[in-house]
Amino acid sequence: MKPSVKPKEPLVTHIYTADPSAHVFEGKIYIYPSHDLDHDGPSNDNGDQYAMEDYHVLSLDDFDSPCVDHGEALHLRDIPWASQQLWAPDAAYKNNTYYLFFPARDHDGIFRIGVATSSSPAGPFQSQPSYIAGSYSIDPAVLVDEDNRAYMFFGGLWGGQLEKWQTGAFLPDAAGPDPSAPALGPRFAELSEDMLSFAAPPREISIIDEDGKPILAGDEDRRYFEGPWVHKFKGYYYLSYSTGTTHKLVYAISRNPEGPYVFKGTILTPVIGWTTHHSILQVGEKWYLFYHDCSLSDGVNHKRCVKYAELHYNSDGTIQTIDPYGE
Ligand code: FUB
C-alpha cells in the first residue's frame, strides 16, 4: 500500500506550509502553498514573522497517494522587483502556460503582486521583471472562467496593507474604516489575454447581507479580512475568505464574478493558530477544502501545515460548516 495523506492531517511534515491554492492540472492535484520559514523571530500585527523566501509546489496523484514536494519552484533572489515576504500564491493555466501569481514587498516595502511562468505545473517558474502594474496588497486568487476570461481577486488588511489604499494611493498611516462604516472589500481585476497585466484597474467587491445592506467593518464575524478564493457551483460564484480577527473561513455568493456577493455562512471554524487561508477544489464528483493550521508546530503562528477535508453542499447550494478537529 502506498502511504496516503489522510483528511485533516498535514500533507507534508518535512517543511512548514500554508495558504494552499489547489488545482487539478494534467490529471493530478497540484497545491501551491506558502513555504513558512522555520525561525524563532518576533511576531507582530504587521506580519513580519511571515518572512518566506521561496515557493515549493506539492502534488498528489489522487487522495490515495503520498504528497510529492517538487522542490524549490521560485526563489526571492530570482524576482528582480521583490525585497521580502513571499506570501500566499495561486496558479492558473492558460495559453499553454502555467502562471504563478504571488505577493511580495517591493523595494519600498509596499506589497505588490507578481507573476511567473512555467511550461510545467510543478515549475520552476520564471519571474517577470516587474510586478503587475496597478497591483497592490496580497493574496491573489485567479479564476479562469468557463469562457476563458481570467479574473484576479486579492487584498488583505493589516500586514497586507489593503486599508492603506482606500484613496487609490498608498497612505502608510491610513487606518481601516470606522466600525459603523461598510467594510473594505477584496479587489477584482480582469487579467489581460496574456495573463501578465490587468485589463482594467482593480475595483472593490461589495459583500452584502440578505437584506442588501453592506457588511460593516465592525462585523468581525462576517467582514472581509484576507485570503479570497472564488469557485463556481451550479451557476453561482462563491467568494470565500478569512475573517481574520475572528479566525473563520466564510463565504458569499453572486451570479456575477464582480459581485455584489451575498453573505451566506461559515465554511471552517477556527483552527489552531491565528491565520486561516484556503482553497476549494472539485476533484471528480467530490469537493475539497484545502486549508492550514499550526498543529505541526504546536501552535506557532508562522509555522503552519497544509491539510484538506471533504466539503459538502446542502441541496440549496449552501455549504456545510467543517469542524477542523471533528470526525
Ligand atoms: O502567509 C502569509 C499571510 O498569512 C497570507 O498572505 C495570509 O492570507 C495569511 O495566511
* Residue-wise pLDDT tens digits, 270-315: 999 999 999 999 999 999 999 999 999 999 999 999 999 999 999 9
The mean of the pLDDT values for the chain is: 97
Residues whose CB is less than 8 angstroms from the CB of residue 135 and which lie 6 or more positions away in sequence, other chains included: 112, 113, 114, 154, 189, 198, 202
Percentage, residues of the chain above pLDDT 70 = 99
**Exposed/middle/buried for residue 110 (C-beta within 10 Å: 0-12, 13-18, 19+):** middle
The full length of the chain comes to 327
Ligand 1 geometric centre to CA of 114 (Å):
16
221 is catalytic: no
- In the three-class reduction of DSSP (H, G, I as helix; E, B as strand; rest coil), residue 160 is classed as helix
E strand map for 109-186: 111-118, 126-127, 141-144, 150-154
Ligand 1 geometric centre to CA of 305 (Å):
12
pLDDT interval class at 4 (50, 70, 90): confident
Q: Is the CB of 275 under 6 A from ligand 1?
A: yes
* ipTM score above 0.90: yes
pLDDT in tens, 75-87: 999 999 999 999 9
- The domain covering 16-311 belongs, at the CATH homologous superfamily level, to Glycosyl hydrolase domain; family 43 (2.115.10.20)
Task: Ligand 1, residue 85: give the atom nearest the CA.
Answer: 2
| Predicted pLDDT of residue 309 | 98
Summarize the confidence of residues 238-265 as an average pLDDT: 98
Residue for grid cell 479587489? 187
| Predicted pLDDT of residue 1 | 53
3-state helix, strand, coil in the chain (%, to 5): 5, 40, 55
Residue spans of the domains in the chain: they are 16-311
CA proximity to 81, closest of 138, 134, 130: 130
Q: Is the CB of 88 under 6 A from ligand 1?
A: yes
Instruction: Say if strands 207-208 and 261-268 run parallel, antiparallel, or are unpaired.
Output: parallel
Annotated catalytic residue: which of 90, 163, 219, 226?
226
Summarize the confidence of residues 213-221 as an average pLDDT: 98
Summarize the confidence of residues 313-321 as an average pLDDT: 98
226 is catalytic: yes
| Predicted pLDDT of residue 123 | 98
Question: What is d(CA 43, CA 53) in angstroms, rounded to the nearest whole number?
Answer: 17
Summarize the confidence of residues 143-165 as an average pLDDT: 98
pLDDT in tens, 20-55: 999 999 999 999 999 999 999 888 988 999 999 999
Q: Does 2 score more than 70 pLDDT? A: no
Question: What is d(CA 290, CA 145) in angstroms, rounded to the nearest whole number?
Answer: 20
Nearest CA to ligand 1 atom 2: 87
Q: Does 16 score more than 70 pLDDT? A: yes
Ligand 1 geometric centre to CA of 235 (Å):
29
Q: Mind spelling out the 3-state secondary structure of 39-87? A: CCCCCCCCCCCCCCCEEEEEEECCCCCCEEEEEEEEEHHHCCCEEECCC
| Predicted pLDDT of residue 266 | 98
Question: What is d(CA 246, CA 275) in angstroms, rounded to the nearest whole number?
Answer: 10
Residues whose CB is less than 8 angstroms from the CB of residue 155 and which lie 6 or more positions away in sequence, other chains included: 137, 138, 139, 162, 184, 185, 186, 187, 224, 226, 228
Is 163:122 a contact under the CB 8 Å cutoff? no
Percentage, residues of the chain above pLDDT 90 = 97
Question: What is d(CA 236, CA 260) in angstroms, rounded to the nearest whole number?
Answer: 12
Question: What is d(CA 138, CA 111) in angstroms, rounded to the nearest whole number?
Answer: 6
Sign of the alpha-carbon torsion through 88, 92, 95, 97 = positive
